[in-house]
Chains A and B, each alone.
Chain A
Amino acid sequence: MDIGWYLVVSAIIFAIGVTGVLTKRNPLVVLLCLELMLNAGNLALIAFSRMWGNGDGQVFAIVVMVVAAAEVTVGLGLIVAIFRRRLPIDVDELRELQG
């Protein structure tokens, strides 16, 4: 298949991820959709790596995966901490970071 197909798939997955981030209220699901967006990026990277024929894109994709893992760790830790404080697990309710 042409590389272009992979990139289109990546774009579709990214768009779906955006929709999820913008509409969901459960922070867990928002994180999941964030993962979707990251994966879409990964797919694009791998596709381009194949296109150019060197492994740079794949290395980058692995680093992205590392970052995603770290981010998930901290994010889930945050959600657990919020849950422990008995605050509502709802992105619309947690809005103190404003001004």
Chain B
Amino acid sequence: MSATTYAWMVLAAPLAGTIVIALGWRVWRGRIAGWIGTGAIGLAFLCAIGVLVRLEDRPEERRQLVSSLWTYAKSAGLDVQMSILVDPLSVMMILVVTGVSTLIHLYSVSYMSSDRGFTRFFAYLNFFVFSMLLLVLAANFVVLIVGWAFVGAASYLLISFWFRRRTATRAGIKAFVINVVGDVGLVLGTFILFDKTGTVDFVGVFGAAGHEFSRNDGTLVVACLLLLVGAFAKSAQVPLHMWLPDAMEGPTPVSALIHAATMVTAGVYLIARMHPLFLQAPTAGDVGAVIGAITLLLAGVIGLAQTDLKRVIAYSTMSQIGYMIMGVSAGAYWAGMFHLMTHAFFKALLFMAAGSIIGAMANVQSLDRMSGFRRAMPFTFGCFVVGGLALAAVPPFSGFWSKDAILAFLGNEGGWHWALYVAGYVGALLTGLYTGRMVFRAFWGDPCPEAQELAGGHLHHADEPRNPADGSLEDTDVGFPGPHHQIAEREVPMKVAMGILAVLAAVAGFLQVPGVTHVVETFLAPTFAGDPGYAPDEPTWLTILGLSLSTVISLGSLGIAYVVWVRRPGTAPRIRERVPALARLLERAAYFDDALDVLVVRPAAACGRFAQQTFERVVVEGAIVGGPVSVVRASSAAVRAIQSGLLRSYVALLLLGVAGIALYFLTQAT
């Protein structure tokens, strides 16, 4: 079977999974739906490997394949096919997406097993994977937008999965609305590009970009900036990032899959895919790089002040995506994609381990209450440490090699990119700090009561289920998390998934060691064939400097974290007391949420209230609807008066009619 056939099967398997699970939701008992879902994605992964093998069989210059199933829309100069583009970039994406998704599905089979919405969860999860695959395999803007929108919808469905929780539904709406802002940008960018090039196919648009637009053409820059708006919203970059921390309301597998490994990387993929456009409009690329740098710093410092474990990891995701955006915007395509891959591994692993701890804490997510889980949960501890080391870019774990690849590329660029270079290393310091904070607070120190209970062999069970975000009392019925919690130590599927990811997080970096292995860079080369700045990787003094600097910073920051949080336990509160305003700023996430509330939410709510109470009631119901109604009523009341029942008035009317007719004939005759 050819590469494109395998690719269509990659798309078809999750879609079939969704449909089968959703249509038979009454039929699947126990965990069957979970195994169906996992099987579907596993099949997709195998087909993705098939695509890889078939693609690698072909010569290098023939590795861009477009396959079309039917004509999606054809009218008025628009010719849209239902087509997919199979080239190294999309193959890398589908491998990462299907691979990590399979493991997360496996993890979820145990994690969600006591939830009454188990079947619904897997239907949504499969639908999400299908949408993401559609997005990355799209061969034209329209299918891309379709996949983009589906991914947003799936994200909404999964964030507000526990739909009876107010906080969850609000978070889902927030995520969706902010993503819609991005969608608008994406669509408008598409409009401009279609207007100028006359086609929506990637191949066509990229081909025309060279001669349609001059370098830094204003229109192209605007179009690229609009595309960037879409990327920022989906990848949670400043200023469209507020939805990601709240999206932690979703179950932990959702956070792992969507908000670490796949959906948030869609923006990175978009910029990489649109590289010919950004090549012609470097200004837009610069904007993207700056925003990426700002995000990685801002998210890093905010993450230092958060107490909810999942939120810390969420801000960490934001920061790492900032690295990727910075990289691909500046032209470091293979480096950015490499970091995307390794980040998927270790971030998903971190979320899974966090899920395990939260299970042990009976759904409490606050770092303030966790401590000393080292002895009670050794496997989770090991996975968390592996993930944390990869995140903090400690050699030889994967994050070390990938993060450094990006920064080395930026250093090679020179000029003002040095500022980004420095920002990157400051960010690395922050990363080490907050990672260490997480690890040391949760696993070191005296065991908290839940850890003691677990060490004694009994998993803590909360008396009354409470909402982790605001502490309100809850239920364990449908629409809320189930009554039981699972930890990795006791569940084999969770162990398998986390184990595989831990191994990957540890060794995946060796795919691209500077000067030694070039797997990623050579694999992706055919896609970026037209890019002169693709820069084959040759180790220079800058590379060595970068690697050593990275090592020093990561180990140093972990060391500082150890001192602050293990050796001298009171240090953090003391620092906080010294700078209360700064601490408050960081805890409130730099007031972005409050600004959003004041600038957008309240005016919109006021408009809605005005529309409902004044406009709707007075104008629409009163005048526009009420007007004709009262006219009809009045006229029918007037006409009704004729039907009085009085014989005489009937006769009078009759004779009036007769006289009228006679008069007519009389006038006619004369």
Contacts and interface: CB of A to CB of B under 8 A. Distances in A.
Interface in A69-99: 91-92, 94-99
Contacts of B651: 21-22
Contacts of A23: 648
Contacts of A30: 647
B604 interface: no
Interface string B617-657: 00000000000000000000000000111111001100100
Interface size class of B (residues with CB under 8 A): under 10
B648 A95 contact: no
B644 A91 contact: no
A18 interface: yes
Contacts of B646: 91-92, 95
B648 A99 contact: no
Nearest to B654: A21
Interface string B146-172: 000000000000000000000000000
A96 B648 contact: no
A95 B645 contact: yes
Dominant secondary structure at the A interface: loop
Interface in A23-78: 23, 27, 30
B648 A91 contact: yes
B643 A99 contact: yes
A21 B654 CA distance: 12
Contacts of A96: 645
Contacts of A92: 646, 648
Nearest to A33: B651
Contacts of B644: 95, 98
A19 to B, nearest CB: 11
Interface string B422-433: 000000000000
A18 B655 CA distance: 8
Contacts of B647: 27, 30, 91, 94-95
A97 B645 contact: yes
Nearest to B659: A18
B650 to A, nearest CB: 9
Contacts of A18: 655
A22 B654 CA distance: 11
A11 B158 CA distance: 90
A98 B648 contact: no
A54 B89 CA distance: 109
A97 B22 CA distance: 62
A22 B652 contact: yes
A22 B652 CA distance: 7
Contact of A98 (B645, B652, B655): B645
A18 B654 CA distance: 11
A98 B647 CA distance: 10
B645 A21 contact: no
Interface string B578-613: 000000000000000000000000000000000000
B501 to A, nearest CB: 80
A98 B652 CA distance: 16
Contacts of A27: 647
A92 B655 CA distance: 18
A95 to B, nearest CB: 3
A22 B645 contact: no
A22 B653 CA distance: 10
Nearest to B649: A22
Nearest to B644: A98
Contacts of B652: 22
A73 B651 CA distance: 20
B200 to A, nearest CB: 64
A27 B648 CA distance: 10
A22 B645 CA distance: 14
A22 B648 contact: yes
A60 to B, nearest CB: 19
Nearest to B646: A95
A99 B643 CA distance: 6
Nearest to A18: B655
A26 to B, nearest CB: 11
A97 B651 CA distance: 14
A23 B646 CA distance: 11
Nearest to A37: B655
Nearest to A96: B645
A25 B160 CA distance: 78
Contacts of A94: 645, 647
B572 to A, nearest CB: 85
Contacts of B645: 94-98
A76 B648 CA distance: 18
A2 B655 CA distance: 28
A41 to B, nearest CB: 12
A10 to B, nearest CB: 14
Nearest to A95: B645
Contacts of A91: 646-648
Nearest to A25: B648
A75 B644 CA distance: 21
A98 B644 CA distance: 6
Contacts of A21: 648, 651
Contacts of B655: 18, 22
A91 B652 CA distance: 14
A98 B648 CA distance: 13
A44 to B, nearest CB: 13
A91 B651 CA distance: 12
17 contacts: A21-B648, A22-B651, A22-B652, A27-B647, A30-B647, A91-B646, A91-B647, A91-B648, A92-B646, A95-B645, A95-B646, A95-B647, A97-B645, A98-B643, A98-B644, A98-B645, A99-B643
Given A21-B651, A27-B647, A91-B647, 8 more contacts: A21-B648, A22-B651, A22-B655, A23-B648, A92-B648, A94-B645, A94-B647, A98-B645
- Which 10 A-B residue pairs are closest in the complex by CB-CB distance? A95-B645, A98-B645, A91-B647, A98-B643, A21-B651, A22-B648, A99-B643, A97-B645, A22-B652, A95-B646
